Amino acid sequence: MTASPVVPSPFLRLRQWWTRPSAHPAKVAQFDRPLAPWLFVAPQLLIVAIFFYWPSVQAVTSSFYLEDPFGFGAAFVGLDNYREALSSTEYRNIAGFTALFAATVTALSLGLGLLLAVKADAVMRGAGAYKTALISVYAIAPPVVGLIGMMMFDMHIGPFTKAAALFGWEMRVGIDYRDTAVALITVAVWKQIPYNFIFFLSGLQAVPSSVREAALIDARSGWRRFRDVTLPLLAPTGFFLLVINITYALFDTFGIIDVMVKDKPANNPITLVYKVYLDGFKGNDIGGSSAQSVILMVVVAALTVAQFRLIERRVHYG
């Protein structure tokens, strides 16, 4: 029997790329005792089991029940909670906005992050100050970002609102659905650009100068060099960031949204995660919000599989 070659998992490959440059091939450690490796991974497994698997199982279980908030009684209702969520227009609208929000935030923050990184890469003088200014935004916590966004778009005193008024756009963030959506997307993108910037910049700096010089001989147009040489070399970074950015837009924007809608979403756009929180924690509807979180889990799992199947194939890991 011949041992089949071990195909590294996508993220393992990502990590290999990440930890470049590696002049030496990875060392393979051998354990004498079969139990030893398990011992080493046990703490990690325990954490994953306690903080991920156990709550997941609980969420799935309670999604089939209608439960008294205080835990005195629970009635099995089968798929009722799912049926209710999926048939509600409110829920569908929120799902629609979540898709739009995730797509827009990901596209804009990747695009702008890349643009800034390419430009910063070319800067010779004062590069440090320039980069620090761009990166520093990343150190701000999401709720604080939300607070800054709230002030920027405030109906009475917000500079953005005033600027929009100059163009005849009467922004009513908090009342008008679309205005609030614009404000949320702007703030969420602003927060994420530095993250993408750091990764793209380091990706760009990892492009060997020999390759750049060779490209310079082949093409005079800067855009063509970027498109044909730099961009393919950045693809692994881009793919990694795509996964991270979608996750960010879906989950990590919670703090921004919570602060910007001021704890009272009313008719303002919110994402599915925020809806889970609203129904579960503010509404005390445990079964309903569990069903919603299971739906979200399934969607994200499907999305991740699709990303790896469809996009990752086209990515070339150097």
Partner 1 sequence: MLKTVSLATLVAALTTTSALAQTEISWWHGMGGRNGEVINEISMKFNEAQQACHLTPLSKGTYEEALASGIAAFRSGEQPNILQVFDAGAATIMAAKGATIAAEDLIVQAGKPFNREDFIAGVRNFYADADGKFVGMPFNSSAPIMYINTEALEAAGVEAPTTWEEFEAVAPKLKEAGYIPLTASQLTWMFMENFKSRNNQQFATNNNGYDGIEGTEIIVNDDNTVMMFDKLKEWADADLFGFYGAGWADNQKPFEEGKVAFWIGSSGSFGGLQKTATMPFSAEFLPYWASLGEGTQSFIGGAALFAMAGKPAEENACTAEFFSFLTSPEIQVYWHENTGYVPITTAAYEMAKAEGWYDEKPVAEVGIQQLMLPGGEWTKGYRLGFFPQIRSIEEREFNRIFSGEVSPKDALDTIQVEANALLAKFAKTAN
Query: Which residues would be at the binding site for partner 1 (CB under 8 A)?
Result: 66-73, 75, 90, 155-156, 172, 174-177, 262-268, 278-279, 281-285
Of 76 and 167, which has the nearer Cβ to partner 1?
76
Task: Work out the angle between the directed axes of helices 231-247 and 89-122 (0-180°, nearest 10).
Answer: 140
Rounded to a whole number of angstroms, the minimum distance from the CB of residue 250 to partner 1 is 22
Q: How far is the CB of 161 from partner 1 (least distance, A)?
A: 12
- Residue 183 CB, shortest distance to partner 1, in Å, is 12
**Cβ at position 296, least distance to partner 1 in Å:** 19
Q: Of the two residues 180 and 230, which places its CB atom closer to partner 1 in the complex?
A: 180
Q: How far is the CB of 282 from partner 1 (least distance, A)?
A: 5
CB nearer partner 1, residue 120 or residue 278: 278
The minimum distance between CB 298 and partner 1, in angstroms, equals 23
- The DSSP-derived string for the chain is -PPPPPPPPHHHHHHHHHT---SSPPP----SSTHHHHHHHHHHHHHHIIIIIHHHHHHHHHTTEEE-TTSS-EEE-TTHHHHHHHH-HHHHHHHHHHHHHHHHHHHHHHHHHHHHHHHHHH--TTHHHHHHHHHHGGGS-HHHHHHHHHHHT-TTT-HHHHHHHHTT----TTTSHHHHHHHHHHHHHHHHHHHHHHHHHHHHHTS-HHHHHHHHHH---HHHHIIIIIHHHHHHHHHHHHHHHHHIIIIITHHHHHHHTTT--TTS---HHHHHHIIIIIS--HHHHHHHHHHHHHHHHHHHHHIIIIIGGG----
Closest CA to 272 of 250, 243, 257, 248: 250
Give DSSP secondary structure letters for 223-265: HHHIIIIIHHHHHHHHHHHHHHHHHIIIIITHHHHHHHTTT--
Smallest distance, partner 1 to C-beta of residue 92, A: 14
8 preceded by a cis bond (ω within 30 of 0): no
CB of 68 to partner 1, least distance (A): 5
Nearer to partner 1, 67 or 312 (CB): 67
Q: Which two tokens stand for residue 42?
A: 């046990």
Residue closer to partner 1 (CB basis): 88 or 202:
88
Minimum distance between the CB of residue 216 and partner 1, rounded to whole angstroms?
A: 55
Cβ closest to partner 1, residue 213 vs residue 263: 263
Which residue number, 38 or 51, has a Cβ lying nearer to partner 1? Answer: 51
Residue number, 156 or 314, with CB nearest to partner 1 = 156
| Nearer to partner 1 (CB atom), residue 204 or residue 278 | 278
